Structure formats: structure tokens, C-alpha cells
Amino acid sequence: MKNFISLNGKQVEISDETAKNLSEQFTKKKIEIKTCAGSILYTSEKATLREAVIEAVGEGANLRNADLRDADLSGANLRDANLRDANLRDANLCDANLSGANLRDANLRNADLSGANLCDANLRGAELNCAKFYGRGGTQQLTKQQVPMFLEALGFIIK
């Protein structure tokens, strides 16, 4: 079977190997992690958004302002991730490792943080209304430095 492509209106014969390479290039699904404004922060060939986010964090990508609404990041290792100003509204972060993550000013409204590791995470200014923290409970401790940030994120005014 011969393979042809159209090039400048002309049919050009290509080898089986070239046809296969072109087919793979055009059929590979790419997942893009974008900001709320639509700018691309990271591109991955992983199968799911969860895997793409884990890959991005593992490579040290800056996910500041990432739009991760409704994302299923359950059990994900997001240690030391920069998720400052990220939109994680309604995200599933159940059992995720967020230790050392920068979640400053992130939107975590309605997010499920049950069993998540928030040790040394920066939650200053984070939107935590209706976020869920229940689950296996009692396994992570807050440091004294984290208590004011945590209470502030929950809407408490500290005097």
C-alpha cells in the first residue's frame, strides 16, 4: 500500500516509516495545564491531567495561576509544588502530598483535602470556604508558624 500526503496541492508519495511517524505525531494527545487566562504553563503527553500535574511538579514546573478546577489529584505527590494563586476549586486532593507546597492565595473552595499532607504548606490567603478536611484525621500536625495562616485561610481574624 502506498502512502501519499498533499503538499502544496500535489500528491507526494512517502515511505511507510514516514507515514507512521506523521500518524503518531498527529494522533498523540497532549494535555496542557493552563492559567485561567488561557496561557499554557506546561504540556504533557501523559494520559490524564492528574499524571500531567504529577509530571510537571516532578520536573519543578511553575504552576502559579494554574486552572485545575475539578481536577482529580487524589493521592498525587505534589510536594513543594508552586500552586500560588492556582484555581483548585472543587478539586479532589484526597490523600495528596502537599507538604511544602506553595498554596498562597489559591482557590481551594469545595476542594476535598481529606487525608492530605499539608505539613509546611503555605496556605496564607488561600480560599478554604467549604473545603473538606475530614478523613482519616489526626495524622498531620501544624507548626506554630502555620496556625495563623491556616486560621486566616478559614476566615478567622487574628488579633
pLDDT tens track for 92-133: 999 999 999 999 999 999 999 988 888 889 999 999 888 888
- Report the share of the chain in percent with pLDDT over 90: 53
65-159 topology per CATH: Pectate Lyase C-like (2.160.20)
Write the CA distances from 141 to 34, 83, 90, 106, 115, integer angstroms.
32, 21, 24, 21, 12
Residue 131 near residue 150, CB atoms below 8 Å: no
Q: For the ranges 25-29, 43-47, 100-104, 148-152, which has the lowest average pLDDT?
A: 25-29
Tens digit of pLDDT for each residue in 133-156? 875 555 556 677 777 877 776 667
What pLDDT is attached to residue 96?
95
pTM over 0.75: no
